[in-house]
Amino acid sequence: MTPRRVGGPRSAGRSPLLAPLHRMVVRLSPRRRAGLALARLRRYLPGVLLAGLAAGLAFAIAAAFFGPEAAFFAPIAAVVCVGIAAGQRARRAVEIAVGVALGLTAADLLVDLIGSGPVQLGVAVVLAMTAAVLLGTGSVLVNQAAVAAVLVIALTPQGDTHPLTRLADALIGGGVAVLLASILGPHPGRAVERAGVGILDHLIEVVRGIGDALDRVDLEHAERMLTEAGRTEERVADLDRALEAARESARLGHRRRSLHPRGPMPLLRSRMELTAATVRALARASANAVRHGQPVDARLVTALEDLAVALGELRRWAQGGNGREEARDASLRAARLASGIPPEGRPLTTGVLIGQIRSAAIDILRSTGLDQAEAVRALERSAGRADTPEDREE
């Protein structure tokens, strides 16, 4: 099968002065931006609704105890804590509530002694943050103590509200947040699966897009895929938070809502960043090949499709299916096909693409549970050594 070259890249002929601006515009079309915004909303909507419920319930409870005029900090503490409680350890949420309470108490005591004003506000912030640091807390708690101190002096009316009332008010908000996040927060197992599957779906889309860009010799699409390939960090961070919440739920004994790290997702996570890095390298090499008008062997496009199939099988395995062996077979098929392109006369970018396809196959094999030595042996049996591609099992 011979390399083919269909004209030049589609962005050829454009003014080099306008090309960077054009790429910025085409990388994210309005439709794509709207899709990303809706995806973010779907991801964060449960937490948003939970924060609203926690704020309302905290206000109602605090108002029942202290009256509506004094129930100022309960909803604030609830909103601050609910995000932490939903995605991280319960201990962190309790620390946030204590930090808010520290700031409230320090500011109230200072106002009782020397009144309010700019100087008093600055002193209250220093005292609240100092107290939080002395307790050995993290930066989030220290910052919340400072914010609470500012709110007491700058926003809330000073009157008959006792400092201990404000302290109890804040603790009510934090307690409500922790409780609701524990009961109504996202199911840890489903959250882990959703986050991991989202990463795999994104990588599948990018790998298929790389193949389309090479097939159509489309520079704009290749550069768009390069941009998309770099958008995995936020998704990986979501997966890490979901895994931590699942481990916490298991430690707390919520067996019906917990997920011990025994399924495939922790194993997939261990290779996720390396796989994403390999996909970025593939996208960069494809953009370079199209940009310089170098011929593209059709076997590379087919090999990329096989890689997308392998990632799809990983997705099926992550959801409880039997895709592990199928993922191994598809990844080795991709490496074997790409490695079969003879080295004589092929462009440098083709050699780079072949190497990255082989690296992606290793990443996928490792994601299925093979160690490095086993993965390399499987790759070399199927696709040959990198320097001797003809030495392989058919």
Q: Domain ranges in the chain?
A: 45-184, 188-383
Residue 216: partners with Cβ closer than 8 Å, 6 or more residues away:
6, 10
Helices (H), 293-347: 298-318, 324-339
> Which tokens sit at 67?
């009256």
> Which tokens sit at 224?
């768009």
Query: What would the DSSP string read from start to end of 141-183?
Result: HHHHHHHHHHHHHHTSPPSS--HHHHHHHHHHHHHHHHHHHHH
4 forms bridges with which residues in the sheet?
296
| H, E, C per residue of 203-266 | HHHHHHHHHHHHHHCCHHHHHHHHHHHCCCHHHHHHHHHHHHHHHHHHHCCCHHHCCCCCCHHH
Distance separating alpha carbons of residues 150 and 128, to the nearest angstrom = 10
Distance separating alpha carbons of residues 126 and 28, to the nearest angstrom = 44
Contact (Cβ atoms closer than 8 angstroms) between residue 131 and residue 102? yes
Q: Which residue type sits at 224?
A: R
The residue whose two tokens read 């400092």 is 163
Q: Which residue type sits at 88?
A: Q
> Does residue 385 sit in helix, strand or coil?
strand
Mean pLDDT of each 10-residue bin along the chain, 394 residues long: 47 45 51 77 79 90 86 80 58 64 70 73 77 65 69 59 71 81 70 81 93 92 90 77 68 50 69 88 92 88 95 88 91 94 86 93 93 94 73 40
pLDDT of residue 394: 35
Dihedral over Cα of 247, 251, 252, 256: its sign: positive
pLDDT of residue 282: 93
385 forms bridges with which residues in the sheet?
388
Distance separating alpha carbons of residues 149 and 138, to the nearest angstrom = 17
Q: Which residue type sits at 30?
A: P
Distance separating alpha carbons of residues 265 and 113, to the nearest angstrom = 56
